[in-house]
Structure 1
Amino acid sequence: MQNNSNISIFASETGNNMKKRKKYTWLLLLFTSYWILGSIAAHAKPGGPGSTIKTVVIDPGHGGKDSGAAYGNAKEKDIVLDIALKLGNYIQASFPDVNVIYTRNRDVFVPLYRRAAIANKNSADLFISIHVNAVARGVVQGTETYILGQHRTEDNLEVAKKENAVILLEDDYHTTYEGFDPNSSESYIMFELVQDEYMEQSAMLASAVQDQFRIHAKRIDRSVKQAGFLVLRQTTMPSVLIETGFLNHPAERQFLQSKSGQEHLASAIFKAFKEYKKKVEARSSFNMVTETSGRNSPISNNSPDNNVETTSQNSTNIYFSVQIASLSNNVEPSAKNFKGEHNVFMQKKGKTYRYFCGRFNDVQQAREEQKRLKKKYSGAFVVAFENDNLVPVETVVRKL
């Protein structure tokens, strides 16, 4: 009888496990499909990763009926809104050409899916979500910045659960998030298959944020981490979620609530943004050159093929070329760095490195080369040199 009872219990447990596995397998399939659609949208977005940073969406977490973490009179929703607005002001003051969009600029409740939708709809180049942490026990303190991924520790999972739990305040969240339960560890199985094409850029920004928090704001660095945040999961651009400190720690709570503390935190995030922008845009210019087919420049109308050396500069030391890139970092203009292009040379002016392709005695030859290069580098243009100094093309043409 005992054996039969054990068999019956085992069979019941096995059946329940199978049902549960089927449930979450279906859930995983739904989210995987959703992820594929999101990736397609990301590829279709103008600019894409590595391009100029034109639009930034800043997301102050929580708001309205959702206070977020709270300790006494300190509320996460108020602190992060102040930091977010300060960050936006720093960006707009230094980069007036960058469009700064907030998911909220006042104390209102914004559903989680809407926050990501705002960034996606505006074809944002960057998404920054700002939060404040808290734990029920201990005196933990410090900052941590998250990127999308599978949680590696239970602590990371708990942070994700806490931030994702905001969906419970939304109407019909089961339908909106395809049955996702933020409090169930099994729901986070879906993040095991996440292949975030923006992970490299997200990690670059996250690392810069943590560096600036440590160096500029003098905060304890709890490092860059990965976890399954729904708001990051639904964005189609590089995205980070920043935890600026712990409300349960007395000194950190005082810092987070103070105007000075909020300015230090916002300034640190801005410095990280500035560093990230510089790196991404420099990389964009470099990629524009290195992603060529490796074909050498056509140099002379008398050449039997395109593999001969460029026409040497004439006796007056005046020649034409085509500018193909302008970088903030020095890249050796060797063939291996430029996919076999042997005719690339560089000139430095101030802190800028400018890269040119070919030397031509005749401006028409340079323009023919420009036509070829513009098919790959839309920004390619003809320049002129006299005694190896850049001069206006019209000035040189008049002299010849």
Structure 2
Amino acid sequence: MNRVSVFLMVLVLCSSSFFSRGQNSKYKINTIVIDAGHGGKDPGAIGKHCYEKNIALSIALKTGKYIKENFPNIKVVYTRDTDVFIPLKERPEIANRCKADLFISIHANSLKNNTRTYGTETFILGLHKSEDNLAVAMKENSVMLYEDDYSNKYEGFNPKDPASYIIFNLMHSLHIDNSTSMAQHAEHQFKSRVGRRSRGVKAAELWVLRKASMPSVLIEVGFISNPKEEKFLMSDKGQDYMASGIFRAFRSYKEEIERHSSRTLEVKSQELPDANSNGVSFCIQIKSSSEKIPLNSKVFEGLGTVKENFINGTYKYSVAHSSNLRAVINKKREIKKQISDCFIVAYYKGKPISIKEARNIQKS
């Protein structure tokens, strides 16, 4: 069996496990894994007065403490809680073995010969859109170079070779919506509550996220190559602030996805009839965006099951799918109270067409 076949088999198994877990009962977060980047013989980024591994560990432990104090029923697992080296591939495997519901990897950034850049960044798994994102991926993936026989362990992947990153084109994240949501909550907290500069949510080919079979993010808490930010991140106050920001982001994320899962279960019996009618369906478009929006976003709260279509470079979001135009028209009156500019669109075999064309097809 070739490598792609093995990967696809794992993907199917992971998706089956994830969806069956939340299918029959309200979804709850039970376990979270917090990964302090680097450690032991791997110092990570090196500042003028500190190592990344120490910053990451301190913030990881403080974050876990906040979660335990506020959610005693949630199991918090650390990939490391001391200054030890943990192989890169072992970190997501720890999360997979304990069936974690969320994986958070904590790091600190650095730029060579650049003391001016500062701010937080939160990464999800994806293809890099800039050289800066690729540089972060290369830095974090280079941890594997500390391991013996890393080439075989990591399927021939070379973290220093840009060509190796082509393998990530095979990866379709099952959890991109929830990962994005957690990342957005983190950057919001860093900016609005901690008072840090947010450099935003970004995507990169990060091995530690690629192997995690649950929503996962990698947080860069700041640049220790910047003297002012290094001083902040080395202080107890700075570490407390960053840990509390991550905790509040987790709390918001937890509330959001648990509320969404409950709402999804409640609306299933209220869905409109969707009998096959020559491949024609109607629905209510509620939003379009050049950027992907998590389906569990607060923007869609209370609207029922939201579906996403990617058409001509634009993400289109819709609800109330049915072959019965009259039922959709009636539903629109209700949706319009919440989304005033919503409108009805038609599809034929998955492709957008005019409502007039759709009705003519149904009559034929």
Give the TM-score normalised by the residue count of structure 2. Answer: 0.72
Of the three residues 109, 117, 121, the one matched with 1:144 is 121
Aligned partner of residue 70 in structure 1, secondary structure: coil
Q: Are 1:42 and 1:237, in contact at CA under 8 Å, matched by a contact in 2?
A: no
Of the three residues 87, 99, 116, the one matched with 2:63 is 87
- 2:196 aligned with 1:215, yes or no? no
Instruction: Tell me the equivalent position of 1:34.
Output: 7
The correspondence of residues 281-296 of structure 1 with structure 2, limited to 5 A, is: 281-292=258-269, 294=271
Listed as ranges, the gaps of 5+ residues in structure 2 are 274-299, 305-318, 328-364
- 2:308 aligned with 1:331, yes or no? no
- 2:147 aligned with 1:183, yes or no? no
Aligned partner of residue 179 in structure 1, secondary structure: coil
Q: Are 1:31 and 1:190, in contact at CA under 8 Å, matched by a contact in 2?
A: no
Identity of matched residues, %: 44
- 2:21 aligned with 1:47, yes or no? yes
- Backbone CA RMSD of aligned residues: 2.7
Q: Are 1:292 and 1:338, in contact at CA under 8 Å, matched by a contact in 2?
A: no
Q: C-alpha displacement at 1:173, in angstroms?
A: 1.2
Q: C-alpha displacement at 1:270, in angstroms?
A: 0.6
Q: C-alpha displacement at 1:38, in angstroms?
A: 3.8
Q: C-alpha displacement at 1:330, in angstroms?
A: 7.5
Give the TM-score normalised by the residue count of structure 1. Answer: 0.66
Instruction: Tell me the equivalent position of 1:60.
Output: 36
Q: Which one has a bigger Cα radius of gyration?
A: 1
Deviation string 1:244-263 (CA, Å, 9 cap, x unpaired) is 00011011000000000000
Q: Are 1:55 and 1:126, in contact at CA under 8 Å, matched by a contact in 2?
A: yes
- 2:178 aligned with 1:201, yes or no? yes
Aligned partner of residue 136 in structure 1, secondary structure: coil
Q: Give the partner amino acid of 1:40.
A: L
Of the three residues 81, 87, 98, the one matched with 1:122 is 98
The correspondence of residues 196-345 of structure 1 with structure 2, limited to 5 A, is: 196-292=173-269, 294=271, 331=302
Instruction: Tell me the equivalent position of 1:379.
Output: none
In 2 relative to 1, CA 231–100 (structure 1 residues): closer, same or farther, beyond 3 Å? same
CA distance in 2, matches of 1:247, 1:35: 39
CA distance in 1, matches of 2:136, 2:267: 41
CA distance in 1, matches of 2:73, 2:302: 27
CA distance in 2, matches of 1:134, 1:54: 34
Deviation string 1:113-159 (CA, Å, 9 cap, x unpaired) is 11010000011000000000000022110000000000001110010
Q: C-alpha displacement at 1:33, in angstroms?
A: 3.7
Of the three residues 161, 178, 181, the one matched with 2:138 is 161
Q: Are 1:116 and 1:235, in contact at CA under 8 Å, matched by a contact in 2?
A: yes
The correspondence of residues 345-360 of structure 1 with structure 2, limited to 5 A, is: none
In 2 relative to 1, CA 195–251 (structure 1 residues): closer, same or farther, beyond 3 Å? same
Instruction: Tell me the equivalent position of 2:47.
Output: 71
Deviation string 1:312-342 (CA, Å, 9 cap, x unpaired) is xxxxxxxxxxxxxxxxx97379xx87999xx
Listed as ranges, the gaps of 5+ residues in structure 1 are 1-28, 297-328, 341-400
Aligned partner of residue 106 in structure 1, secondary structure: coil
Aligned partner of residue 39 in structure 2, secondary structure: coil
Q: C-alpha displacement at 1:68, in angstroms?
A: 0.3
CA distance in 2, matches of 1:222, 1:332: 31
Instruction: Tell me the equivalent position of 1:133.
Output: 109
Q: C-alpha displacement at 1:293, in angstroms?
A: 7.8
In 2 relative to 1, CA 35–147 (structure 1 residues): closer, same or farther, beyond 3 Å? farther
Q: Are 2:272 and 2:320, in contact at CA under 8 Å, matched by a contact in 1?
A: no
Q: Are 1:289 and 1:338, in contact at CA under 8 Å, matched by a contact in 2?
A: no
- 2:87 aligned with 1:111, yes or no? yes
Q: Are 2:21 and 2:27, in contact at CA under 8 Å, matched by a contact in 1?
A: yes
CA distance in 2, matches of 1:330, 1:136: 44
Q: C-alpha displacement at 1:193, in angstroms?
A: 3.1
CA distance in 2, matches of 1:35, 1:265: 37
CA distance in 2, matches of 1:61, 1:48: 30
Aligned partner of residue 182 in structure 2, secondary structure: helix
In the alignment of these two chains, the number of paired residues is: 281
Q: C-alpha displacement at 1:217, in angstroms?
A: 1.1
Q: C-alpha displacement at 1:216, in angstroms?
A: 1.2
